[in-house]
Structures are given as structure tokens and as C-alpha cells.
Amino acid sequence: MFRKRPSFWLAIMKKSLLALLFLVTGLANHSVLAFDQQHLRWDALLKKHVVWIAQGTASRVDYAGFQQDENTLRNYLQTLSAVSRQEFSAWSKPQQLAFLINAYNAFTIELILTRYPNLESIKDLGSLLRSPWKQRFFTLLGEHRNLDEIEHGMIRAKGVYDEPRIHVAVVCASIGCPALRDEAYVAQRLDAQLEDSFKRFLADRSRNRYNATSGQLEVSKIFDWYREDFSSGYREFTSLPQVFARYADTLADEDGIRQRIRAEQADIVFLKYDWKLNDIPR
């Protein structure tokens, strides 16, 4: 009987081992390159450097602390920049939106750190010819971008996410802004996080309140700037009075005032926006 030589079986074993090695290496590389949908690095930074104030309706940011952890922040930003358009397109809508919200907020922190502590407002980073939100200083989904492109070109794009509550999620490093949360936005809790942020913002009497003397509902300028988003039928919001009627319990502390807001009888006025940096006072 013909017998195959030992070298034949040795070659077969080598090929099998090589195939197994390529398979294991491929799986390992995929594991390394897969994006962290929990945004754990960003989450840890926020828990460390964001502080709730005003009974949890506003927050302040420890930018000095972020400076000390800037390498960690930059590592997180690099993971954002490494995501390709193709990879992003394969995600669910909640994963995409959480990614964009976190990217906007994290790159905003990075922008502040370019001049901190030598600035009083994010507006100090702009000029007469170009606002800070139009400065292209980072890469996202394969393109050199600015903050406006994330918010207005991607998050607010018609027919994509259609989510007006993002205006309390993407924040501009200012006291007048809604609170920066002390946690990352994540897909599986995104709706609950947005709703919680929206209610916290409406409950902040420094930015949204009923003036019993004038009989007017005084609300953040955000609702004026983005009136269209709150009146276009997204989440069944068809007008600002209708939005405030739905959240009357959060906007007012007295039953009589709540009833007036629910009946959409309160005149709406917009408060002056406070652009001072939302830094922790030293």
C-alpha cells in the first residue's frame, strides 16, 4: 500500500495552523477596531468633571480637570475620528444619534481647552468673520468638519432623526445652555436620557419660568432659535405652546399656573441668553 510521507502531513498541519492563526487574528482585529457604543472613556470623563447644581437642573464643567485628563479626552476623540462613513451607516439610528451628540459635546470641550483658562465665553474663540462653531478643527466620518456641521448638517437634517430634544443634549459650554450630563449618551437609553435632560432644562427657573406679575411664560432663547424644530410635528410637537402645555407640570409649581399653560393661554417671551463659560467657579 502506498503511504504518504510524513512531510505531507506536516505541510497539511502547517496550513491548518496558518488558517487558524489568520482567523484568530481577524477576530482579534475586529474586536480591537469595533467602536465602543457605550462611550466608556467619555462617560468616565463626564462623571469625573461634570457637577450638577441647582437641584439637578443645571451643571458646571471642571475644565481644569479636563485639562489634566486631556490625553484621555484626545484618545476618545481619536476613536470618534476613526469611525468610517460605512461603519456609521451600518449602525442603528439611536447608535448614530448618540455618537453625534457625544462627538459634538466632546469636541466642544476640546475647543474650549485650546484657550482655557484665558477666555470668558466660547464666543471668545471666534472672530468677526467666523464663529467658533464654523472652525474646522477635527475629522469625523472621513471629513474635516466643524461643530455646526454636526448639529445642523447631520443631527438636524430633515427626515433623518427628527428629534427636537437634541437641543437640550448638544451644549455650547455656556451658562445659558442646557446641562451637560454627567454621563455619555448611549443608544439603549437615549430616549430616556433625552427626556430627562428636557425636563431638567424646563425645571430650571433661571432659564424657563412663569412670571406671575406679567402673566408671561419666560423661556430660553433656544425655543426661539429652533422654533421650527419644535413646531414641525416631530414627537407630535406642532407649536411651542403645545410643547409647553405637555410639560406644564415641569414648568410651573402651582396648579393654577399649570392649568393656564396647559390651556395655551400664557404669552411666551424669550429670555436673554447667558454666553458666559459654564466653568466651575474657582
Each residue of 184-211: pLDDT tens digit? 999 999 999 999 999 999 999 999 999 9
CB 150 within 8 A of CB 98: no
| Rounded alpha-carbon distances, angstroms, from residue 145 to 103, 183, 184, 246 | 11, 24, 21, 36
What is the per-residue pLDDT across 113-144, written as a single tens digit (0 to 9) for each?
999 999 999 999 998 788 999 999 999 999 99
Q: Is residue 263 part of a domain?
A: no
CB 220 within 8 A of CB 138: no
CB 197 within 8 A of CB 168: yes
Residues 6+ apart with CB under 8 A from 273: 174, 176, 220, 221, 222
Cα 38–Cα 66–Cα 109 angle in degrees, nearest 5: 75
| Rounded alpha-carbon distances, angstroms, from residue 167 to 74, 119, 133, 158 | 25, 24, 15, 15
For the record, the C-alpha cell of 13 comes out as 498541519
Q: Is residue 48 part of a domain?
A: yes
Q: Is residue 91 part of a domain?
A: yes
CA dihedral 238, 230, 93, 111 (to 10 degrees): 180
CB 187 within 8 A of CB 39: no
Q: Which pLDDT score, from 0 to 100, does residue 25 have?
A: 42
d(CA 4, CA 9): 8
pLDDT at 31 over 70: no
Q: Is residue 266 part of a domain?
A: no
87-92 long-range contacts (CB < 8 A, ≥24 apart) are 87/35, 88/141, 91/37, 92/187
d(CA 218, CA 199): 16
Q: Is residue 215 part of a domain?
A: no
Q: Which pLDDT score, from 0 to 100, does residue 20 have?
A: 47
Cα 103–Cα 105–Cα 110 angle in degrees, nearest 5: 90
Q: Is residue 251 part of a domain?
A: no
pLDDT at 63 over 60: yes
Per-residue confidence at 216, pLDDT binned at 50, 70, 90?
very high
How crowded is residue 199: how many other Cβ atoms within 10 Å of its Cβ?
16
- What is the number of domains present in the chain? 1
Name the pTM for this structure.
Answer: 0.88
Q: Which pLDDT score, from 0 to 100, does residue 7 have?
A: 58
Q: Which pLDDT score, from 0 to 100, does residue 13 have?
A: 53
Which segment of 11-15, 25-29, 152-156 scores lowest on mean pLDDT? 25-29
d(CA 223, CA 239): 10
Name the residue among 138, 183, 174, 187 with its Cα closest to residue 45: 183
What is the per-residue pLDDT across 221-265, written as a single tens digit (0 to 9) for each?
999 999 999 999 988 899 999 999 999 999 999 999 999 999 999
d(CA 132, CA 118): 15
Q: Is residue 144 part of a domain?
A: yes
**454666553: which residue's cell?**
275
d(CA 205, CA 158): 31
* Domain of 194, in residue numbers: 37-202
Q: Is residue 169 part of a domain?
A: yes
Q: Which pLDDT score, from 0 to 100, does residue 14 have?
A: 55
Residues 6+ apart with CB under 8 A from 150: 100, 103, 104, 107, 140, 170
